[in-house]
A and B are shown apart, each in its own frame.
Chain A
Amino acid sequence: MLLELFEWLGKDVRAFNVFGYITLRTVLAAMTALVISFVIGPWMIRRLTDLKIGQSVRSDGPQSHLVKAGTPTMGGALILTAVAVTTLLWADLSNRYVWACLATTVGFGAIGWIDDYRKVVHKNSKGLSAKSKFFWQTVIAATALSYLAFRANLPQQTDLIVPFFKTVAIPLGAVGFIVLGWFMVVGFSNAVNLTDGLDGLAIMPTVMVASALAIFAYVAGNKVFATYLGVPHIAGAGELAIFCGAIAGAGLAFLWFNAYPAEVFMGDVGALALGGALGLVAVICRQEIVLIIMGGVFVVETLSVMIQVASFKLTGKRVFRMAPLHHHYELKGWKENQVVVRFWIITMMLVLFGLSTLKLR
C-alpha cells in the first residue's frame, strides 16, 4: 500500500525512492508491527480479561502450571492483526507470494480461533476436534500450495534443495511439491502449537526463525545474491522478507506481555498461524530442510510427543517424564525460566547453523 504511494511521490522527490528497497521496508515493517502490538496489546489484554477468556490448564500436566489457569489466552490475535496490517502497509501487494502467505496465516489463525473460542468461551473442553483441525489445515495448505505449484514456471521453484550441496536439486514436480509443502506447513503449524507450553517458549524461537527466513527470502529473491550463493533464484520471494520482518516485530512485542510471568498467552490462534507461516515461507524459498534445522526445537518437541505416545502404546512405558519435552525438563527440576531461555539459546545456535548453509556449499 505505502509502496505505491512512495513510488508515486518518488517521481517528484527522489528521496522517496529509498522505500523501494526491500531491506529498508523489512526493518520498517518490523518496527511498525512492534508499535502496533505495543499500542493494541494492553487494550486487548484488558478485553480478554474482561470477557473472562482465561486459559484452562491440564490437570495431568505439571502441578506448577495450575496457577496459570485464568491467564487470558487468544493473544495470538494481537500478533496476527499486527502482521496483517504491517504486511498490507509495507509489502508489494501485486506479489502472489505475499498473498499466499497472508491468506494461509489468517486461515490457520481462524482455525485456532475457533478451537480456542469453543474451549474457552463455550467451555467445550474438546474445542475443535483433532480431525477437524487437521482437515481444515490440509484444505488451506493444499489450496495455497496448489496455487503456487501450478503458477511455477521454472524447475527451481519446485525442486527440493539439499543444504551444503550446491548442485543437488531433487525434482519433485507439482504433486511432490504439494505433498512436501503440506508436510512442512501443517507439520510446523502443529509443532509450534505443541511447543507453546511455557511462557515465551514458542514466540522467541518463532521470532528468531522468522528473522532468518527473512534473510533467506531476500537472498532467494535477489538474482545476484542467489547466483553468487548458489541458492535457487525465486523471483518475487524477496517481498516475503517484509512478511517475516512483520512476524519478528509483532512477536517481539508479544513477548513483552508473554514473558514469565505471562499476562497473556497466544493460544492456538497464534501458534497454528505462526507455524503455518514459517512453513510456507520456507517452502516458497525452497529451504525446507534448513527450516527443519533452524526450527529444531519445534521438531524435537513434536518428536518427543510422538515417541512418548508410541512408546506408551507399544510397551506401556514412558521415555520422557512428561511430553512435550519442556515438561520433561521441568519435572527434572529445571525452573520454567531456565527451560525457556535454554531453548532460546539452542534455537539461536540452530539458526546460526542454518544461516551458515548459505555459504557452506
Chain B
Amino acid sequence: MREAHDGEVWAMLTREAVLRPKAGGDQNLPVRFWIITMMLVLFGLSTLKLR
C-alpha cells in the first residue's frame, strides 16, 4: 500500500529520473522469461487433456 500522508511529495517525476532505471528495461528480463516459462508450462499441462 502506498498510503498518501500529510506532507507527501506530489512531485511528478518523469520515468527518466536518474535514480530509477527506465521502466520496462532490461532489469525485468528475468521475470519476463519466468512468465514465458510459466505460460509454456500451462500449455504443456493442457496437453494432458487436449488429446
Contacts and interface: CB of A to CB of B under 8 A. Distances in A.
A67 B22 CA distance: 11
B1 A259 contact: no
B25 A57 contact: no
Interface in B2-51: 2-15, 17, 19-25, 27-28, 31-32, 35, 38-39, 42-43, 45-46, 48-50
Interface stretch (A28-36, A82-90, A142-150): A28-36
Binding site of B, secondary structure by majority: helix, strand, loop or mixed? loop
B23 A52 contact: no
Contact of B32 (A18, A60, A259, A271): A259
B49 A23 contact: yes
B35 A255 contact: yes
Contact of B23 (A27, A193, A261): A261
Interface string A155-186: 00000000000000000000000000000000
B12 A70 contact: yes
Given A59-B7, A70-B14, A260 B2 contact: no
Contacts of A73: 2
Contact of B2 (A28, A55, A123): A55
Contact of B13 (A23, A30, A69, A337): A69
B31 A200 contact: yes
A189 to B, nearest CB: 11
Contacts of B10: 56, 69, 123
B2 A56 contact: yes
Given A69-B11, A70-B12, A260 B27 contact: yes
Interface string A337-348: 100000000000
Nearest to A115: B4
Contacts of A24: 46, 49-50
Chain A: interface size category: 35 or more
Contact of B28 (A23, A28, A259, A271): A259
A288 interface: no
Interface string A1-45: 000000000000000001001011001101100100000000000
A37 B10 CA distance: 29
Nearest to B43: A31
Q: From A64, A66, A119, A195, name the one whose CB has the most chain B CB atoms within 10 angstroms.
A: A66
A54 interface: yes
Nearest to B46: A27
A12 to B, nearest CB: 20
Nearest to B51: A18
Interface of B: 1-15, 17, 19-25, 27-28, 31-32, 35, 38-39, 42-43, 45-46, 48-50
Interface of A: 18, 21, 23-24, 27-28, 30-31, 34, 52, 54-61, 64-71, 73, 119, 123, 125-127, 193-197, 200, 249, 252-253, 255-257, 259-263, 265, 268, 271, 324, 337
Given A27-B46, A58-B2, A58-B8, 19 more contacts: A23-B48, A23-B49, A27-B45, A27-B49, A60-B7, A68-B20, A69-B11, A71-B15, A125-B6, A193-B1, A196-B2, A249-B42, A252-B35, A256-B32, A259-B31, A260-B28, A261-B22, A261-B24, A265-B2
14 contacts: A24-B46, A31-B39, A56-B4, A57-B8, A64-B19, A70-B13, A119-B4, A127-B4, A255-B31, A256-B31, A256-B35, A257-B24, A259-B28, A261-B22
